[in-house]
A and B are shown apart, each in its own frame.
Chain A
């Protein structure tokens, strides 16, 4: 298991130097600081076939990796420190955490030359929030996300919406717009770094399908040609970019259907950057040496428990189930030590995470058995649910073995392809449970939308929240979250979130399993390959070594 802290500080040093140099340069004295000039060259990296290149639609990593190069949002996150960097936005301020004023910087343009204005943002957000547009990131504007006033009018349960624009969005002038939220949310500024909030040029609304094939963004790179489906997307540096220019002249995002093939292509020297398949981690580490890059990702895997089933309503039983699992053993045996056991309900990559906070995540088979028996045990056979298209069979079986060994309870399995699986989870939490819904422990994962503890705990455990499949509902928890969201400072917010975290750590509606790691390999041609917490390569920072 890697020691994340020492790896982080070791890699921080060269980047800090680069950041200092880049910061001091700012285009004022290029002659004296040549390192700030883009290094040039072209490189290639692997992606899978994107579902969409329209930021308001695409939510998966493949398309997002490309869109990160093509667009720049209001705010960005430093890939190593997660500090907020104001990009297109000059400031996002509020007195009451409800009414926000967004001031934009001047001089930002889209790749077609048109200016990036407040209208560019407001129109894009309205388009995404409008239900009938079927945008995948629509929910970011509703109660499960930023909760902008007027969302419900654009997304009625039945029938056509009354309005086409969010009442809570108002354009003040070319460089200013206001946002009114339906409930206070102190961390609103950091949520707007996500795809859903990218600006769109006017050309988008004329032909969204054509835009999808060749998006026109405002980022450091622009499209070179169109999206060649299943083959690749090529981009070149946008010379009119007001921010730090991308280092490479051109990037080829090559599309692979199979991770293994991309990895072999890096070995053959045909591809510059690729992820590492689980089975190759050991050999890859040895073969690639310092070109094997590992960093913390925000992914979080857990086993949820259906609280609508009577058997799982006793917290002592749930704690016992959790303590009977030896996470490290599974990670070593099944995952070649590529993951870290979960010890909190939020990932270590967000502020507020506390190491070892989950006392019931510690493996203690004796205590588990005691607690299990005291709670009355489990009658009959457990049914463990998971989606069968994610390669989870092995570790789920390992968990069931441990439950049999340590608690004496047998399990059987139910699995389905992901689409069906989600449907079953939904049916389970509908008003009439037991109708083919999920009836036992179920596997799910979470990747953060923005770096905040709230994103982990509210979406999974808030009453009626979008990804709350356990049906956990705790008024005190919801209150603490609301207090955190309307807190005056980040420290205050975090203390509320941690108190809320303590509640769910005591109630254990889910069994946290592990946190993920990013692993990639590169050829010698590229340098400064940094993978951020969202598991994206910061393409603009990659340097191509001089030939």
Chain B
């Protein structure tokens, strides 16, 4: 186990450098002068421009800029936005918000998805199963922004049950956005669980367990479920990583100041430092999530050895 983790961490290093370099290059290769754009349609004096260019190393070559940037990261300095705000501070403010949203969505989709999937899988062909299949199809067919607007309209404006924007109401503010955000993944989890369960319930070892006289809950809970959950856990790990990357659309609709919206705005205003900073943090999170998922495999299925 220890060796496995150590090897994974070593593998993470080239991934980290490769990915950040690619993103860095792409961001700084965008045409247009961000300093010029800072002032909009108004003029900016040459020496004011030069002062800003010096401050952000914009006149250096790409490799030198990248080198300075990576050097900064190891000191905890993720650079500054063109307005002078340290990117590290922005990350510190925005990631917890996105994390709360991601956690809310995750809990919602996992609990509801698993319950729906398990019930549907156990009662294959029943009304409940068909209900789950049809409703998941409907949900996946509706684009997330439509879901978001409708949720705002119904729960916020008409029923006045939940706040529809911002995070000033505490955890209640996260309820609606989490539900909207988790809706798509909920569908996948439900269906994956259902299909996986159905397949496993027909397999030989389950027949053996039943023949041995084990009770239904034990057969399902201890044997079938553990195997069925392997593909689901894979998906959940990937999904959580994606969630942590920020949900631009959902955050936009509900005005949540998270990392997704921040990246979107940074791309628009060519704040390279923010984009690269967020992506770098995102890469690290993804690497971590993948490692956790792999470890979970071994827990769920002893046949899978950590090579």
Q: Which of A's residues lie within 8 Å of B, judged by CB? A: 49, 51-52, 59-60, 131-136, 138-139, 142, 144, 154-158, 160-161, 209, 212, 229-232, 254-258, 261-262, 264-265, 267-271, 389, 416-423, 426, 444-446, 466-467
Residues of A within 8 Å of B164, CB to CB, are 261, 264-265, 268, 270
A261 to B257, CA, bound (A): 13
- Report if B299 contacts A (CB, 8 A): no
Known contacts A139-B44, A268-B157, A270-B163; A420 and B84 CB within 8 A of each other: no
Q: How far is the CB of B275 from chain A (nearest CB, A)?
A: 14
A60 to B163, CA, bound (A): 29
Residues of A within 8 Å of B270, CB to CB, are 417, 419
Residues of B within 8 Å of A131, CB to CB, are 45-48, 50-51
A157 to B44, CA, bound (A): 12
Residues of B within 8 Å of A426, CB to CB, are 36
Further contacts, 16 of them, CB under 8 A, given A229-B257, A422-B32: A49-B265, A131-B48, A134-B55, A138-B45, A158-B46, A230-B93, A230-B257, A230-B261, A255-B257, A264-B157, A265-B164, A265-B166, A419-B34, A422-B36, A426-B36, A444-B41
B235-269 with Cβ < 8 A to chain A: 251-255, 257, 261-262, 265, 268-269
A232 to B167, CA, bound (A): 11
A258 to B255, CA, bound (A): 7
Residues of B within 8 Å of A59, CB to CB, are 39-40, 42
A155 to B164, CA, bound (A): 48
Is B253 within 8 A of A261, CB to CB?
A: yes
- Report if B67 contacts A (CB, 8 A): no
Is B156 within 8 A of A264, CB to CB?
A: yes
Known contacts A229-B90, A231-B167, A417-B268; A134 and B51 CB within 8 A of each other: yes
A-B contact count (CB 8 A): 149
Q: How far is the CB of A528 from chain B (nearest CB, A)?
A: 25
Q: How far is the CB of A519 from chain B (nearest CB, A)?
A: 20
Residues of B within 8 Å of A445, CB to CB, are 41
Sample (8) of A-B pairs whose CB atoms are under 8 Å apart: A52-B83, A132-B47, A134-B52, A157-B47, A158-B46, A268-B160, A417-B268, A422-B32
Residues 17-42 of chain B, each 1 if its beta carbon lies under 8 Å from chain A, else 0: 00000000000000111101111111
- Report if B168 contacts A (CB, 8 A): yes
Is B51 within 8 A of A132, CB to CB?
A: yes
Closest Cβ neighbor of A230 among chain B residues: B257
A389 to B257, CA, bound (A): 21
Residues of A within 8 Å of B47, CB to CB, are 131-132, 154-157, 160-161
Known contacts A419-B36, A467-B41; A155 and B166 CB within 8 A of each other: no
A52 to B42, CA, bound (A): 16
Q: Which of B's residues lie within 8 Å of A, judged by CB? A: 31-34, 36-52, 55, 83-85, 90, 93-94, 152, 156-157, 160, 163-168, 251-255, 257, 261-262, 265, 268-270
A180 to B88, CA, bound (A): 44
Is A265 within 8 A of B39, CB to CB?
A: no
Residues of B within 8 Å of A156, CB to CB, are 46-47
Closest Cβ neighbor of A229 among chain B residues: B93
Contact with B42, one of A132, A158, A264, A467 (Cβ below 8 angstroms): A467
Closest Cβ neighbor of A155 among chain B residues: B45
Contact with A135, one of B46, B48, B165, B265 (Cβ below 8 angstroms): B48
A142 to B262, CA, bound (A): 35
A410 to B50, CA, bound (A): 41
Closest Cβ neighbor of B157 among chain A residues: A268
Closest Cβ neighbor of A467 among chain B residues: B41
Q: How far is the CB of A415 from chain B (nearest CB, A)?
A: 12
Is B42 within 8 A of A257, CB to CB?
A: no
Closest Cβ neighbor of B253 among chain A residues: A261
Closest Cβ neighbor of A420 among chain B residues: B32
Contact with B166, one of A51, A157, A231, A419 (Cβ below 8 angstroms): A231
A142 to B168, CA, bound (A): 43
Q: How far is the CB of B5 from chain A (nearest CB, A)?
A: 36
Residues of B within 8 Å of A52, CB to CB, are 83
Is B32 within 8 A of A423, CB to CB?
A: yes
Is B48 within 8 A of A155, CB to CB?
A: yes
Is B168 within 8 A of A136, CB to CB?
A: no
Contact with A136, one of B33, B38, B51, B252 (Cβ below 8 angstroms): B38
Residues of B within 8 Å of A136, CB to CB, are 38-39, 42, 44
Known contacts A131-B48, A422-B37; A231 and B168 CB within 8 A of each other: yes
Q: Which 8 A-B pairs have the closest CB atoms?
A: A419-B37, A131-B47, A420-B32, A230-B257, A466-B43, A419-B32, A132-B51, A155-B45
Contact with A257, one of B36, B45, B255 (Cβ below 8 angstroms): B255
Q: How far is the CB of A420 from chain B (nearest CB, A)?
A: 3
Is B157 within 8 A of A417, CB to CB?
A: no
A418 to B46, CA, bound (A): 19
Is B41 within 8 A of A446, CB to CB?
A: yes
Closest Cβ neighbor of A421 among chain B residues: B32
A262 to B164, CA, bound (A): 10
Which one of A51, A209, A230, A423 has the highest number of Cβ atoms from chain B below 10 Å of its Cβ?
A230
A449 to B257, CA, bound (A): 31
Closest Cβ neighbor of B148 among chain A residues: A261
Contact with A419, one of B33, B48, B152, B168 (Cβ below 8 angstroms): B33
A156 to B48, CA, bound (A): 9
Residues of A within 8 Å of B40, CB to CB, are 59-60, 418
Is A422 within 8 A of B41, CB to CB?
A: yes
Which one of A157, A256, A261 has the highest number of Cβ atoms from chain B below 10 Å of its Cβ?
A261
A253 to B30, CA, bound (A): 33
Is A270 within 8 A of B255, CB to CB?
A: no
Is A139 within 8 A of B45, CB to CB?
A: yes
Closest Cβ neighbor of B265 among chain A residues: A257
Is B31 within 8 A of A420, CB to CB?
A: yes
Closest Cβ neighbor of A254 among chain B residues: B166
Is B39 within 8 A of A257, CB to CB?
A: no
Is A261 within 8 A of B41, CB to CB?
A: no
A270 to B44, CA, bound (A): 39
Residues of A within 8 Å of B255, CB to CB, are 256-258, 261-262, 265
Residues of B within 8 Å of A270, CB to CB, are 163-166
Residues of B within 8 Å of A231, CB to CB, are 166-168, 257
